[in-house]
């Protein structure tokens, strides 16, 4: 069928006196078509007079389209059973022209942003090979809308804690924040509501206020509003993740940061420049970060279990000896887990990223097996060891052979030192040590036999240590 332009040319040539044969030859159309246009005398294209054979089945087609869940092959089969005789291409054309199942597409919107006006944040799941195993990770992305600078990191899960971690890292990566952060109604940030009616969770609102920006959410179904950040996920998957494996999450995020630096420095055809060159202009419009950006951590209050561990996300981290049963404060950061008792930090562990019932222990928190803790000797034992001579030698042997009886025996020996002459006592101690006699009562009987009829030394002063104890029974 000739279009309106061709029909206008035919009528113009006819008005100049040319015949239909000459017009058809010059315009390379059939002479019958030229004659039909001349007969109608108008350049307007006449409406189609073709009979639509599927029109009488329209209601049935609409019903079958819903019943068959949009499968036109099944619709065509059921129409054949109902007596329809037209072809499958006729059915598809009819559905397309009538808008059955495929509503007409609306034109996409176009958004322009000024320097430092908006940044977009979103997350997307990806399958990544880490440590030889495939993991489902949550990829967080932030894009500056004016310069298209992008920053991405991956996490095993994405809660408000990870959200604050990521946004803090992104702010430090860009050296500032935009006035507005556009999100997609995620429950991590939103307390309730959507779009303009969205209410930010107080915890996240306070966090955003500290860094100098505020959250806004786009309307439901308005995917074009966050197109810049959505595009970054597509490129991240087909470019960065393709064919790459990683040893752990630290390796994954370090290489993702390097990839962001490289991508931000490449020429973009849509921008007709590099994002870093636009960022040089946008950076002056960003809101600067506070003088001090606090470290983001998640606070846990735990009681040290009977094995000396604290539990965080099913994983166990060791604590120093002597804390069993005591309440401590555990701070979970991005890469470390720290244990505090009041203001004092007791331990720092490398964080296990995934909940896997792992045990993390530092060697200094547990003594080696088979080694007993050395205790400070009792005061009486210490005094006798410092005496020297036979007394110290006997006390050392007694402490080595019978450590549990050393303290009580030392008290008895010190009493004997105060009450009996020195020479007979040392002679008895030497003889007892020679024959391996470490019964102090027997040593005392040996001393008494050696003394015989000699008088006891009753003029000795009390030992200074006994004066402290108030023991005056031997004066």
359 vs 318: CA distance, rounded Å: 8
Report strand pairing: 336-341 vs 199-200: unpaired
- Please say whether the beta carbons of 122 and 230 come within 8 A: yes
- Please say whether the beta carbons of 50 and 94 come within 8 A: no
- Please say whether the beta carbons of 144 and 114 come within 8 A: no
Superfamily of domain 118-285: Ribonuclease H-like superfamily/Ribonuclease H (3.30.420.10)
189 vs 159: CA distance, rounded Å: 9
Please count the CA atoms within 13 angstroms of the CA of 468 that sit on its side-chain side: 4
List beta partners, residue 426: none
Protein fold of 4-40: Arc Repressor Mutant, subunit A (1.10.10)
Sheet holding 344-350, edge to edge: 298-303, 327-332, 336-341, 344-350
Q: In sequence order, which residues have a C-beta less than 8 Å from that of residue 424 and are 6 or more positions away?
A: 447, 450, 451
List beta partners, residue 309: 318
298 vs 320: CA distance, rounded Å: 21
Q: Which residues of the chain fall below pLDDT 70?
A: 48-51, 104, 107-109, 369-377, 453-475
Other Cβ atoms closer than 10 A to 7: 22
Give the pLDDT confidence score for residue 51 in this predicted structure: 64
- Please say whether the beta carbons of 121 and 234 come within 8 A: no
List beta partners, residue 215: 181
**H or E element, residue 15:** helix 4-15
Q: What sign results for the dihedral spanned by CA atoms 226, 229, 233, 238? A: positive
> In the numeric block, which tokens belong to residue 50?
């073709």
Q: In sequence order, which residues have a C-beta less than 8 Å from that of residue 19 and are 6 or more positions away?
A: none
388 vs 392: CA distance, rounded Å: 5
Q: Strand, coil or helix: what is 242? A: coil
What is the end-to-end Cα distance of the chain in Å, rounded? 137
459 vs 440: CA distance, rounded Å: 24
Other Cβ atoms closer than 10 A to 263: 21
Give the pLDDT confidence score for residue 100 in this predicted structure: 85
Give the pLDDT confidence score for residue 109 in this predicted structure: 65
DSSP code string of 232-277? HHHHIIIIISTT-EESSHHHHHHHHHHHHHHHHTS-BTTTTB-HHH
397 vs 447: CA distance, rounded Å: 19
């Amino acid at each position: 069928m000739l279009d309106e332009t061709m029909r206008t040319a035919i009528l113009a040539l006819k008005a100049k006196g040319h015949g239909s044969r000459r017009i058809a030859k010059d315009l390379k159309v059939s002479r019958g078509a030229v004659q039909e246009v001349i007969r109608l005398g108008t350049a307007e294209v006449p409406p189609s007079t073709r009979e639509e054979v599927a029109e009488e089945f329209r209601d049935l087609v609409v019903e079958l389209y819903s019943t068959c869940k949009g499968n036109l092959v099944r619709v065509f089969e059921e129409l054949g059973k109902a007596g329809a005789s037209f072809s499958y291409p006729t059915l598809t054309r009819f559905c397309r022209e009538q808008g059955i199942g495929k509503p007409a597409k609306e034109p996409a919107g176009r958004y322009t942003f000024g320097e430092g006006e908006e940044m977009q944040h979103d997350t997307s799941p990806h399958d990544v090979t880490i440590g030889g195993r495939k993991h489902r990770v949550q990829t967080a992305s932030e894009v500056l809308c004016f310069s298209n600078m992008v920053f991405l990191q991956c996490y095993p899960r994405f809660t408000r804690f990870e959200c604050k971690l990521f946004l803090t890292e992104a702010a430090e990566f860009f050296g500032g924040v935009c006035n507005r952060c556009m999100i997609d109604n995620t429950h991590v940030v939103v307390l309730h509501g959507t779009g303009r009616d969205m209410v930010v969770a107080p915890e996240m609102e306070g966090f955003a206020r500290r860094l100098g920006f505020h959250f806004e959410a786009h309307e439901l179904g308005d995917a074009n509003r966050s197109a810049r950040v959505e595009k970054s996920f597509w490129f991240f998957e087909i470019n960065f993740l393709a064919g790459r494996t990683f040893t752990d999450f630290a390796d994954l995020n370090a290489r993702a940061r390097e990839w962001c630096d490289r991508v931000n420095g490449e020429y973009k055809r849509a921008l007709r420049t590099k994002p870093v060159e636009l960022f040089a202009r946008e950076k002056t419009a960003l809101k600067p970060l506070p003088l001090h950006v606090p470290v983001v951590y998640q606070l846990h209050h735990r009681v040290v279990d009977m094995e000396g561990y604290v539990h965080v996300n099913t994983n166990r981290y060791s604590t120093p000896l002597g804390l069993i049963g005591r309440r401590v404060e555990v701070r979970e950061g991005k890469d470390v887990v720290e244990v505090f008792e009041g203001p004092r930090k007791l331990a720092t562990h490398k964080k296990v990223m995934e909940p896997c019932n792992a045990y993390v222990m530092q060697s200094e928190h547990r003594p080696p097996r088979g080694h007993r803790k050395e205790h400070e000797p009792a005061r009486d034992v210490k005094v006798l060891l410092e005496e020297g001579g036979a007394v110290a030698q006997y006390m050392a042997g007694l402490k080595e052979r019978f450590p549990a009886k050393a303290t009580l025996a030392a008290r008895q020996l010190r009493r004997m030192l105060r009450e009996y002459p020195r020479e007979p006592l040392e002679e008895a101690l030497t003889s007892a040590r020679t024959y391996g006699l470490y019964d102090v009562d027997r040593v005392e009987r040996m001393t008494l036999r050696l003394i015989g009829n000699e008088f006891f030394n009753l003029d000795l002063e009390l030992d200074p240590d006994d004066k402290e104890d108030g023991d005056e029974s031997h004066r």
